[in-house]
Amino acid sequence: MGNSLFLPLFIIGTFLLRLIYVWESTASPFFDAPIVDAHTFLKQALNIASGDLWGGNEPFWQPPLYIYLLALVCWLSPDDYFIVIRLVQIVLGTFSCVLLYRIAGRCFDERTARIAGIAASICGTFIFFEGELLAVPLEVCLNLLLLRQLIVASDDPTYSSWITAGILAGLAALTRPNILLFVAIFVGWLILGNRDTRFNVRKRFVYSLLLLLPVFLTILPVTVRNYTFESDVVLISSNGGINFYIGNSGQYREKVSIHPGMQWEAMAMEPVRAGYTTAASKSDYFYAQSFSYIMTQPLDYAQTLSYKLYLFLSGPEIKRNIDVYFARKYSHVLCVLLWDHVLSFPFGLIGPLFLVGLIATWHSDQRSINILHLYVFAYTLSVLLFFVTARYRIPVLPLFILFAAVGAQTLYQHIRNQRKSLLLPIFLILLIALNWTAAPSSAQDAQLQFDLGEVALRKGEYKRSAMHSKRALTLEPSYNYARHNLTVALLHLGQTEQAVIEGERTVSENPHRPDTHAILGRAYAKQGNIMRANSAFRRSLEIAPSSGMTHYYYGHFLYDNKRYTQASHHLKEASVWQPNDPWIHYDLGRSLHRANNSAGAISSYENAWSIGRLPAAANAIGAVHLLAGRLDEAQRYFEYTLEVESNNIEALVNLSLLDVRRGLTQKGLRRLAELEHKFPNSETIRQAIRSVQPRR
């Protein structure tokens, strides 16, 4: 196939395969309900898209570039962002495959380029992560762009080529800072290790400066932004310290398996308990703890590093909050291209072939191949310095695939030519060794069951949520977050007594979680246990005084118990928490109305109407005006209600009562009679008729 025909067919095939996967993945419960990091990314992106361009009021916890890309998509496509961001990401993924093809063609030959490009295009791990709301596709694309630009700059050094490389490196660092280690090692190699005679000492320093200065200038705005919130330097994001601690403080297997929950909270709060309050100081605390372990237990640390290196090269895709293999349940594409049975495909094959290819090219004098070697070494080291998961090794996977393509061809030539070589036995030994372990079964994963329960809870599927939460608790009886979700699900299912039992147990296990106290307060209220409900709500607010959710439910509770002034206070606090929720403003209006604050009630109802065109709010405004004798204003709002909801019984009844107030009694009664005929079971209509009939 000619090169002119191969490339367009390659691009189309790569994109269509990913498009099919995205279409299949719409059946996954996680497609429109992301979890953990993806949920955090989306929540922050939606805030940015709604006008908070600073992205919060504290230093970034995670690198921000992907979050802002996601925010741009949410702003441009507010109703379809779950689809659009995935389309953007599969475009990035397709472009990354083309970049790898181009890099391979420049460094090796057309055959190697095609093998590497096709292997990347059908790599199930790439396809999976391109369908998640995670930074991985952007990381891969920017890193490959940087690599290609460095190769171009090294082959044809110009000021602009080095500056472009620096900008790309800065953008890559704002997506995942690991790339900075590669940049540092590359600069060291450029100054000290590059044997190209075209690069004299002066030029090497100039080119290094032209590379490093744009990196610094690209990152600087984020550093300054972080400093404006806390006068302590956070270069890009503040999560580095705790991630370093997880991988370098002893008990590696236990710490890396900690999932969101009480254990994670306890670990994250260690610096706070030690008196550190800023994001930078908390991160530094974890670094200090880790370096203390490394210095005092060097042999144990060396064993941990060796174990991490084995995990990095081994076949199974190691979970970090998100299970790669679970997605196979909803995709025929992944069933074919990603599995972990006997052979962990594809990485279990790529890893051994990569090592063969690395051996075959180790003594290459070609500058571009040396740059690829540097990237593989530096990025692998950057992951080993923290901890190993499928997601974190993805940015180096394209080069693993490229060297695997070289390794496969090398093995083929040795076998075809019947050469006596150690490469084939080395490959077979590596194939067995790197596929020896297997990923744990999804069915035995307590966090996965919790996540499924969490997603079902968000979607209002309470039976399903209770089922998955119970499974999580069967697998891990101390999983407090799962018990909290079970309490919520049981409450919504009307199983109040059981909800109280689970809620009280949840509170006893984790007494400092405010929303559990709030849920327990709601359950007590349903039981009719007013004193306990009040106590639970107040305890929730003691722990988290600004909890809008607690203020909302406590306000409801107080309203139901006719404590309207207090209810108004808490519902007002809730409206600050969710200013764009029309129902909160409506409920605030009801409580203010009951507290005889008609002006405040109308203002709150108007907020509810302007935010969400809530028929109940327009009708309530009309009712307030009707009681005050402002009949024309009342009529206007009743008509607004019927424009949105033509069969709104309350508004239709109020228009009839309005006729009576205007002295058109017979007309009003006739209207009510017609409504009674149309809605014979409406108690609202019967009460209205009784209220206007002459007393006997």
Task: Quickly tell me which residue has 């779950």 as its tokens.
Answer: 82
Question: Bridge partners of 493?
Answer: none
Nearby residues of 381 by Cβ (< 8 Å), 6 or more positions away: 181
Per the structure block, which two tokens stand in for 477? 């009886």
Q: Tell me, what DSSP letter sits at residue 184?
A: H
CB atoms within 10 A of CB 526: 15
Of 539, 490, 548, which Cα lies nearest the Cα of 510?
539
635 phi and psi, to 5 degrees?
-60, -40
Per the structure block, which two tokens stand in for 462? 């309470």
Q: Tell me, what DSSP letter sits at residue 647?
A: T
**Using an 8 Å Cβ cutoff, are 573 and 564 in contact?**
no
Burial class (CB in 10 A: 0-12, 13-18, 19+), 544: middle
Instruction: State pLDDT tens for residues 145-178.
Output: 999 999 999 988 899 999 999 999 999 999 999 9
pLDDT at 442 over 70: no
**Using an 8 Å Cβ cutoff, are 554 and 520 in contact?**
no
- Asked whether the whole model's pTM tops 0.85, one would answer yes
17 phi and psi, to 5 degrees?
-60, -45
Greater model confidence, 342 or 457: 457
pLDDT at 50 over 80: yes
Using H for helix, E for strand and C for coil, what is the string for 279-345? HHHHHHHHHHHHHHHHHHCHHHHHHHHHHHHHHHHCCCCCCCCCCCHHHHHHCHHHHHHCEEECEEE
143/14 Cα distance (integer angstroms): 19
Instruction: Return mean pLDDT, the chain.
Output: 92
Q: Given the DSSP bridges, would you call strands 339-341 and 343-345 parallel, antiparallel or unpaired?
A: antiparallel
493/470 Cα distance (integer angstroms): 15
pLDDT at 201 over 90: no
**Using an 8 Å Cβ cutoff, are 135 and 63 in contact?**
yes
Nearby residues of 532 by Cβ (< 8 Å), 6 or more positions away: 521, 524
Q: According to the model, what pLDDT value does residue 647 have?
A: 85
Q: Is the dihedral of CA 151, 167, 382, 261 positive or negative?
A: negative
Q: How many degrees, rounded to 5, is the angle at CA 211 between CA 208 and CA 217? A: 130
DSSP string for 347-387: HHHHHHHHHHHHHHHTT---HHHHHHHHHHHHHHHHHHTS-
**Using an 8 Å Cβ cutoff, are 683 and 674 in contact?**
no
Q: According to the model, what pLDDT value does residue 439 have?
A: 65
Mean pLDDT to the nearest integer, 102-124: 97
Greater model confidence, 510 or 696: 510
Using H for helix, E for strand and C for coil, what is the string for 213-235? HHHHHHHHHHHHHHHHHCCCCCC
691/597 Cα distance (integer angstroms): 25
Instruction: State pLDDT tens for residues 595-644.
Output: 989 889 989 989 998 998 889 898 889 888 888 888 888 889 888 888 88
Superfamily grouping for domain 613-696? Tetratricopeptide repeat domain (1.25.40.10)
64/57 Cα distance (integer angstroms): 14
96/260 Cα distance (integer angstroms): 32
Q: Around 545, how many Cα atoms within 13 Å sit in the side-chain half-sphere?
A: 0
Domain edges within the chain: 613-696
Q: What is the per-residue burial (b if ≥16 Cβ within 10 Å, else e) of 557-595?
A: bbbeeebbebbbbbbbbbbeeeeebbebbbbbbbbbbbb
* Residue ranges with strand state E in 50-157: none
Task: Quickly tell me which residue has 């099919």 as its tokens.
Answer: 20
DSSP-H helix ranges across 544-630: 548-560, 564-577, 582-594, 598-612, 615-627
Of 11, 5, 2, 1, which Cα lies nearest the Cα of 118?
11
**Using an 8 Å Cβ cutoff, are 64 and 155 in contact?**
no
Q: Assign 196 a pLDDT band (cuts: 50, 70, 90).
A: low
Cis status, amide bond into 680, omega within 30 of 0: no
Which H or E run contains 471?
helix 462-475
363/365 Cα distance (integer angstroms): 6
Mean pLDDT to the nearest integer, 298-314: 96
Q: According to the model, what pLDDT value does residue 696 have?
A: 46
Instruction: State pLDDT tens for residues 564-576.
Output: 999 999 999 999 8
Question: Bridge partners of 344?
Answer: 340
CA terminus-to-terminus distance, the chain: 98
Per-residue CA distances from 611 to 287, 311, 577, 591, 618 (Å): 47, 52, 15, 19, 12
Instruction: State pLDDT tens for residues 246-295.
Output: 999 999 999 998 888 888 888 999 999 999 999 999 999 999 999 999 99
